[in-house]
Structure 1
Amino acid sequence: MTVLALEIATSWFAVSEIASDVDTDDVRRIPVPARGAWEQCRELLLEVAAGREVTALGIASAGPIDMAAGVVAPLDVPEWRSGFALVAAARAAFPSATVRLALDGVCLALGEQNLGTTKGVMDSLVMNVSDRVCGGVMVGGFVVVGRTGNAGHVGHVLVPGFDDRCDCGGRGCLEAVAGGTAALRWAQAQGWAGLTVPALVEAAVMGEEIPAAAMGRAGTALGRAIASVTALLDVDLVAIGGVLSEAGPALWKPLNEAVATHARLSFLSGLRVVQSTLGPISVLAGAGVLALTAPGD
């Protein structure tokens, strides 16, 4: 039995074979191509399958998605923005496989609950703050999927005090401030000469003024969004992963201050906001959980 997990992320595709978990060393990645996205994705899947019959494939995709139709329309895959029937394409490539699709945030929640920070926690919010911001919600021990499969899009919660334009077309979205791409764009507009999100985070850790200010804005926005979402959902644990979570006090100090300022209702008194322990494989691990545990058709 060969089980694969596929992640359609904002800047790359990742595939891993699944046993009982996901090993970072076994993950294969390719950058999101300008053309031929499915063809290159299929080649990556075939490479990892190595000629063996694939019996199950779990797919975690950046949104928006149409879960029931098996269609994805991630903003960062130009060919697919108007909708691509990814599940049908995967089933044609692997006719013996059970193929399951979920939003990246849903898989993030599944990965953290089964293998990571929120294991044993009934009500939680998990977030991945990298190029963009994705999120997943557990309520009563069950992942929240939503009507179309897009529940958990915390990156598009509106954040008071900010009016930055978002790639979704709106203004003031969390992702427009705290997403790595947006934070990098802001820092460059202030005169910072760096070129990548990891470099921005590293510079913030080292105390460079503009990168630290970019992380400060991101942390404040995250804290305000977390206060709103946790009040709405009545969760008691928030786990944050992704490259920006590695920024140290430059991000976490303003984040915690914003949470303390705004999460004031009595039922939020025990709210914990922590860094994810699962690391960069959290979404892919959740795709593996999806493949291994979803019921048959």
Structure 2
Amino acid sequence: MHTDLVAALDIGGTKIAGALVDGHGQILVRSQRPTPAQRDGETVMRAVEEVLGELTASPLWERAAALGIGSAGPVDASAGTVSPVNVPGWRDFPLVRRVREAVCGLPVELIGDGVAITAAEHWQGAARGHDNALCMVVSTGVGGGLVLGGQLHPGPTGNAGHIGHISVDLDGDACPCGSRGCVERIASGPNIARRALENGWRPGPDGDTSAAAVAASARVGDPVAVASFQRAAQALAAGIAATATLVEIDIAVIGGGVAKAGEVLFTPLRKALGDYATLSFVQRLAVAPAQMGTDAGLVGAAAAALARRADAATV
């Protein structure tokens, strides 16, 4: 029997996606359900089991050697539990055990969603060929992950590289995480929009107050919209520079909805990086948009499962 595929789950506050993925990162079978995020934990788990049920029903399932999960966090890979901020019914939920039961004992590898996207970008995307990289997701929140020495570096609990909660403004706004002036509190989409509105930006006739609408205004030169993106870029640059100074990354890859703003974000980001990444060993740091798109979480979870399978084969 060939065991040349892995299964993958990408679990977020909006959707639960599953796939069977080959060793080249190609998705061969996929399944998806909306996340019943405001329901109780067992209802959420049932949606996961429905996705897994569609995968196990595929004739290709018998070729799956392991299963990788990329989940919204915090996750605790050492305990096999998840407590996603945007799925309140799951607190210290034993996801690894429950998934293993649903797939009859297949090996299961759990990582945070930021780490999963990093794995995907390093394997198939913008960080390919880089041994030391930071990959970030800038959307409703700000997450990330690290590649160090050519290897994914999830850390003991699967949360290493969570750049959204580096403090870059010591006397800044209180962050829901309990700290102050976090990157996420300044650079996430909702906070870009909030700051623009507080400073007098007004949406168009459609009433859209999203970060994408602020980006559209910035593109045509609205000074308040431009300033809100510049402030976000400054926070991201400070966080990226701090990370590069600590662990010597040579590329920062940025994805997520806010990165879709394009040069409205990347131009001031590259400029601000010059102000913060000043030491000789971080001056050549590149910044690039992510390439993997909406399948990044699945492909990254598959990469983690493949890495686990490879580790097991060498023991």
TM-score of the superposition, structure 1-length normalised? Answer: 0.88
Aligned counterparts, 1:207-246, within 5 A: 207-208=221-222, 210-246=224-260
Q: Is the 8 A contact 2:17 2:30 kept in 1?
A: no
1:76 matched to 2:90? The reply is no
Q: Is the 8 A contact 1:164 1:172 kept in 2?
A: yes
Deviates more, 1:112-121 or 1:30-39: 30-39
CA–CA distance in structure 2, aligned partners of residues 286 and 72 of structure 1? 17
Counterpart position of 1:42: 49
Q: Secondary structure at the match of 1:294?
A: helix
- Cα deviations across residues 99-143 of structure 1 (Å, max 9, x unaligned)? 111122222222111111111211111111121111111111122
Counterpart position of 2:307: 293
Q: Secondary structure at the match of 2:179?
A: coil
Match of 1:99 among 92, 101, 108: 108
Which amino acid is the alignment partner of residue 4 of structure 1? A
Q: CA deviation at 1:272?
A: 0.7
**Number of equivalenced pairs:** 296
Counterpart position of 1:183: 192
CA–CA distance in structure 2, aligned partners of residues 177 and 6 of structure 1? 30
Which amino acid is the alignment partner of residue 239 of structure 2? A
Q: Secondary structure at the match of 1:58?
A: strand
Counterpart position of 1:167: 176
Match of 2:162 among 137, 141, 153: 153
Q: Is the 8 A contact 1:4 1:58 kept in 2?
A: yes
Q: Is the 8 A contact 1:16 1:22 kept in 2?
A: no
Counterpart position of 1:114: 123
Which amino acid is the alignment partner of residue 18 of structure 1? V
Task: Report sequence identity in percent.
Answer: 35
Which amino acid is the alignment partner of residue 146 of structure 1? G
The answer for unaligned runs of 5 or more in structure 2 is: none
Counterpart position of 2:14: 11
Q: Is the 8 A contact 1:124 1:139 kept in 2?
A: yes
Sort the Cα spacing of 1:188 and 1:103 in 2 relative to 1 into closer, same or farther, 3 A.
same
Q: CA deviation at 1:267?
A: 1.1
Q: Is the 8 A contact 2:31 2:54 kept in 1?
A: no
Q: CA deviation at 1:286?
A: 0.8
Match of 2:297 among 257, 279, 283: 283
Match of 1:270 among 284, 287, 297: 284
TM-score of the superposition, structure 2-length normalised? Answer: 0.84
Sort the Cα spacing of 1:157 and 1:211 in 2 relative to 1 into closer, same or farther, 3 A.
same
CA–CA distance in structure 1, aligned partners of residues 221 and 229 of structure 2? 11
Q: Secondary structure at the match of 2:146?
A: strand
Q: Secondary structure at the match of 2:78?
A: coil
CA–CA distance in structure 2, aligned partners of residues 143 and 15 of structure 1? 21
Structure 1 runs of 4+ aligned residues shifted over 6 Å read none
Q: CA deviation at 1:213?
A: 3.6
Counterpart position of 1:21: 25
Q: Is the 8 A contact 1:188 1:194 kept in 2?
A: no
Q: Is the 8 A contact 2:110 2:158 kept in 1?
A: no
Structure with bigger gyration radius: 2
Q: Secondary structure at the match of 2:70?
A: strand
Counterpart position of 2:37: 33
Q: Secondary structure at the match of 1:120?
A: coil
Q: Secondary structure at the match of 1:69?
A: coil
Q: CA deviation at 1:77?
A: 0.7
Counterpart position of 2:73: 63
Which amino acid is the alignment partner of residue 50 of structure 2? E
Sort the Cα spacing of 1:30 and 1:109 in 2 relative to 1 into closer, same or farther, 3 A.
same
Q: CA deviation at 1:189?
A: 4.3
Deviates more, 1:120-129 or 1:199-208: 199-208
Q: CA deviation at 1:72?
A: 0.6
